[in-house]
Amino acid sequence: MPLRFVLLFALIAAFCWPIDLRAQDTATSATVQIARPLFRIGYLRREETGHPGEQQLEQLREALLADPAVQREFRNTGYGGIGLFSCDGAADMIRRLNAREFDVAFTPANLYKEQQAGYTAILKARRPKDIIAPPPSDYVRRLGVVIVSPRSPLFQAHSTDPAAIRGVLGKDRMAVVSTQSVAGFNAPLLALARRYDLRTFDGGYLWFESSEEVVKAVLSGLAPAGACEAGAVESVLVGAGLVPVGLSPAEFARQRDRYLRVVAESDPVVTDPVIVRRALAPRGSALGRAVRQRIRTWSLESRLGDIQYRDATDDEYRSLKELLDEFNSVIGEVPR
């Protein structure tokens, strides 16, 4: 019995030990301040295009450290510096969120909904092709689409017959992006299931690292069809010079249809958030407010690879849980 108490005490002591010691085995880039805890920022090491990478987050760290309001709040709360911590995939991210390892995290929306450590969303990513509405609604949503290549029989047929689509798509391969992308994976596949009652693919899934990669796979003929974010289609076509910049949505759709055919489109889904520990929620934390403000201004100033961050509330992500629940019930776990 005493031994059990001793072990429990040791576990609690280890957990409460200064953060700089725990960070030594996982930090990829950190300014270590002896005896003062780090303000820890977590992110996925390699995710689909649109998430900030290590270089961009390094700029953010410098911006935060240079911000007078953040400096003041760091002194008030006892933080000695900022550490950047990369996660090796979704499972690692969720595990570390549940362990409250991060003060701030850039995370896919579905992972945010899966964590159970009480983080709250303070910002949402906004990319150029996202659906937005002007303040005060500050609505930012993203669409997912299922596309077919010119080599597919569906490309020429213009068929919307569910049986025909099931007969073609269901017997072939489907290119998809990481399961951690709601708009690029869950939403379009759910739309396909809803509209055509198509849940499985005989050829299996072809996994790609981003929605843009899915579009390229379909265009090159590597995959006959793919599910991705809608914005990726335009960015790839424009980037390759196949479609000119600045077209109206109708004109873009007309020119897009020369190279791809959209057979399903999802409902708008909320974009990926920046989340903070509940204690740093801006409504009750001056540090949370300072950090949120600095991230917003920094992202606007640096454009962060065409991603901006808009204010968000935790309530915006409630619909996400319903979508994921439906996905799990209709399609279930996707084997990888």
Binding letters toward other proteins, positions 230-269, x by CB under 8 A:
----------x-x----------------x----------
CA 228 – CA 143 distance, rounded (Å): 9
Q: Is 219 in the site for other proteins (CB under 8 A)?
A: yes
Please name the residues in contact with 105: beta carbons below 8 A apart, sequence gap of 6 or more: 41, 42, 43, 93, 97, 119, 274, 275, 276
Of the listed pieces 72-80, 110-118, 158-166, 214-222, which binds other proteins according to CB under 8 A? 214-222
Q: Is 217 in the site for other proteins (CB under 8 A)?
A: yes
Q: Which of 18, 26, 138, 207 binds other proteins (CB under 8 A)?
A: 207
| Nearest CB to other proteins, comparing residues 200 and 313 | 200
Q: To 10 degrees, the CA torsion angle through 206, 208, 213, 214? A: 40
Is residue 85 within 8 Å of residue 28, measured between CB atoms?
yes
CA 257 – CA 145 distance, rounded (Å): 13
| Nearest CB to other proteins, comparing residues 41 and 206 | 206
**Closest distance to other proteins from the beta carbon of 243 (Å):** 11
CA 281 – CA 120 distance, rounded (Å): 7
Q: Is 208 in the site for other proteins (CB under 8 A)?
A: yes
**Closest distance to other proteins from the beta carbon of 63 (Å):** 27
Q: Is 317 in the site for other proteins (CB under 8 A)?
A: no
CA 207: distance to chain centroid?
Answer: 16
As given in the structure block, the two tokens for residue 124 are 């949402």
Q: Is 223 in the site for other proteins (CB under 8 A)?
A: yes
DSSP assigned state of 305: G
CA 211 – CA 224 distance, rounded (Å): 15
β-bridge mates for residue 104, sequence order = 41, 276
Site for other proteins in 65-94 (CB under 8 A): none
**Closest distance to other proteins from the beta carbon of 261 (Å):** 13
How many residues belong to the site for other proteins (CB under 8 A)? 19
- Phi and psi at residue 244, to the nearest 5°: -70, 160
**Closest distance to other proteins from the beta carbon of 53 (Å):** 12
- Of the candidates 172, 255, 165, the one whose C-alpha atom is nearest the C-alpha of residue 218 is 172
Binding letters toward other proteins, positions 147-176, x by CB under 8 A:
---x----------------------x---
Interface ranges with other proteins (CB under 8 A): 150, 173, 206-210, 212-213, 216-217, 219-223, 240, 242, 259
